[in-house]
Chains A and B, each alone.
Chain A
Amino acid sequence: DAKTTQPNSMESNEEEPVHLPCNHSTISGTDYIHWYRQLPSQGPEYVIHGLTSNVNNRMASLAIAEDRKSSTLILHRATLRDAAVYYCILRDRGRDDKIIFGKGTRLHILP
């Protein structure tokens, strides 16, 4: 399975944008890039996913590099409720539905 590399932790100030990076240099042409997050004492929740083009939804934006070897999850205006572990995951659309979670990035939001 293609792997992702994320920083262990990041800090950001409340109400400022946050850019969470993810490297996936061995990505294949059929891999989707998914982001999930896990708030304290909760199960993971879906944030966003994309294949080649940048994506926006009500939670975040996903910027995908032209060569697809990296991507960035953008929280436009972080709040204290965004403090969580963020997981960047590759999922092969030609295979089954498994999600393999890595260690993720623990995001701390400073008031």
Chain B
Amino acid sequence: DAGVIQSPRHEVTEMGQEVTLRCKPISGHNSLFWYRQTMMRGLELLIYFNNNVPIDDSGMPEDRFSAKMPNASFSTLKIQPSEPRDSAVYFCASSLAGLASDTQYFGPGTRLTVL
């Protein structure tokens, strides 16, 4: 199994540009999670989906952030317009059934730098 796949691995962009991060969860997993990690705030949950439906987006920082999951094998996190304070590592994770006992499997992350 390839695990959770994220692309790109690194993204450098200028303030004001649109950024799209992509995630392919593990096949057969029904829950998908987006996290952001910074030195100041640690690992934060942004949003998660169950069966392609957003369940909790209370962690999304503001309207500039949006996430979609058009099908079970693909999700995007979009930032428009991007700002320097969005610079962080963004992780995608998936789990089997959305239960508290389930293991979450994390991707390698996308390191975003907004200049």
Contact = CB atoms under 8 A, between A and B. Distances in A.
A91 B100 contact: yes
Contact of B42 (A92, A97, A102): A102
Query: Quick one: which of A42, A96, A103 has the most chain B CB within 10 A?
Result: A96
Interface stretch (B13-21, B69-77, B80-88, B91-99): B91-99
A92 B44 CA distance: 18
Contacts, number: 61
Interface residues of B, number: 27
Interface in A54-111: 91-103
B100 A95 contact: yes
Given A46-B104, A46-B105, A103-B42, A97 B91 contact: no
Contact of A97 (B35, B43, B102, B106): B102
Contacts of B114: none
Given A32-B101, A92-B100, A103-B42, A97 B108 contact: no
A99 B45 contact: yes
B103 A98 contact: no
Interface string B30-46: 01010100000011110
B100 A32 contact: yes
Nearest to B109: A43
Query: Interface on chain B toward A: helix, strand, loop, or mixed SS?
Result: strand
Contacts of A94: 100
B94 to A, nearest CB: 10
Contacts of A44: 43, 91, 93, 104, 106
A100 B101 CA distance: 14
Contacts of A32: 100-101
A91 B99 CA distance: 9
6 contacts: A32-B100, A44-B91, A91-B101, A97-B100, A98-B45, A98-B56
Interface of B: 4, 31, 33, 35, 42-45, 48, 50, 55-56, 91, 93, 95, 98-109
Q: Give the 10 A-B residue pairs with the shortest CB-CB distance, closest first.
A: A43-B106, A101-B43, A91-B100, A46-B103, A93-B100, A97-B98, A43-B91, A44-B106, A43-B109, A97-B31
